[in-house]
Amino acid sequence: MKRTEKSLFDRLFNPVDVGIDLGTASTRVFMKNRGIVLEEPTVVAIDPATGKTGAIGSRAREMAGQGQWEVVWPLESGVIADFDASVGLLETVLDRVVGKNLFFKPRVMICVPTGVTGVERRAVTEAAMLAGASRTYLIEGPLAAALGAGLPIQEPRGRMVGDIGSGTTSAAVMSMGRIIQAASLRIGGEAFNEGLIRHLRDRLNIQIDRPLAEEIKLEIGTVSRRGRRSTQIIRGRDNITGLPTSLRLSSQDTVAGLEEPLTDILACIHRVLEKTPPELAADLLEEGIVLTGGGALLEGMDECIQAGTHVRTRVAASPRECVARGAAMALEDRGLLEILEGK
């Protein structure tokens, strides 16, 4: 977790703007001139007897199975599944990064997946207000990702991003500060982990847990047949004998396990490209596709999307931070705020 401290004077008298990437697996907070000030797993430890939040993030995850604490992951597929736990999470997040401001409460911009319902949007807004925000704005993930990646989305040209988070994937074409065409999937990085688990169980007869699947994905995983050639010794349970076992797994062994989610993500991007107006589609041939989110870091992802779309594709700088950074940047753009408010 990254965190920087503010002076007592700043905490009491200066209002602040906060951009929040409220993700299924991780929550990131970005503040102007401070960068990412908080990065924690999106998990909350609650005392069932009182309903009070005991901890969030890594500390909450460690409290699983400890006495009275109920450990909750309050988001599913990028939307609120447990309202009270989400309020507790946001309240603790704002207290950490802003403090108990006696005179001013922060303005908050929170990212939501493309295509969320009105009910789901209201749940996010109400949770943030109850947590201590003075004003809450919502911005769709691809728009925030594009801003955070440095794309000039206010220009009259087509720009496209593919944001691959842990629980959701969104693809969108933007122009003049608005999303022109978009599509989303309620799958993301976790789907790649699940694909690896199934592949190793069904094809190599070894059962592994999710943390190991995540490690394999990051350390040696690739979605490209021409990708890296690393190996890793993995340990799990033999699917036939039920006994502990180990084997040497190669990067190329992971391709098949990662293939299904990649196919779904490519299909999502294709749907957007197929519906994009011709004049903006022509811009995309020059501007290309920019990938953001943690899933963009999966080895070979940009190469496969470029091969599948015939549109130049690149990974944004610091792709995990783009959404939170863009959310904070949006609070400084009066024109964009008017668009987000529907004016």
- pLDDT reported for residue 13: 54
Which one is predicted more confidently, 48 or 181?
Answer: 181
Check residue 5 and give its pLDDT.
46
Beta bridge partner(s), residue 140: 112
Show Cβ contacts of residue 179 under 8 Å, excluding neighbours closer than 6 positions. Answer: 114, 140, 142, 143, 172, 173
Residue 23 β-bridge partners = none
What are the residues facing 238 on neighbouring strands? Answer: 206
| Sequence letter at residue 221 | G
Sorted by where each starts, the structural domains of the chain and their CATH numbers stand as 8-143+325-340 (3.30.420.40), 151-315 (3.30.420.40)
pLDDT for 16 equals: 84
Q: What is the mean pLDDT of the segment spanning 291-318?
A: 96
Q: What is the pLDDT of residue 2?
A: 43
**Mean pLDDT, all residues of the chain:** 91
8-46 pLDDT, tens digit each = 555 555 568 999 999 988 999 999 889 999 999 999 999
In degrees and rounded to multiples of 5, residue 135 shows phi and psi of -150, 135
Instruction: Tell me the pLDDT tens digit for each residue of 85-114.
Output: 999 999 999 999 988 765 678 999 999 988
State pLDDT tens for residues 137-194: 999 999 999 999 999 999 999 999 999 998 889 999 999 999 999 999 988 999 999 9
CA distance 253 to 219: 13
Instruction: Say how far apart CA 261 and CA 254 lie, in whole Å.
Output: 12
Which of 73-77, 100-104, 188-192, 225-229 has the least mean pLDDT?
Answer: 100-104
- 63, pLDDT greater than 70: yes
Q: Is 187 exposed, middle or buried (0-12, 13-18, 19+ CB in 10 A)?
A: buried
Average pLDDT over residues 247-256: 95
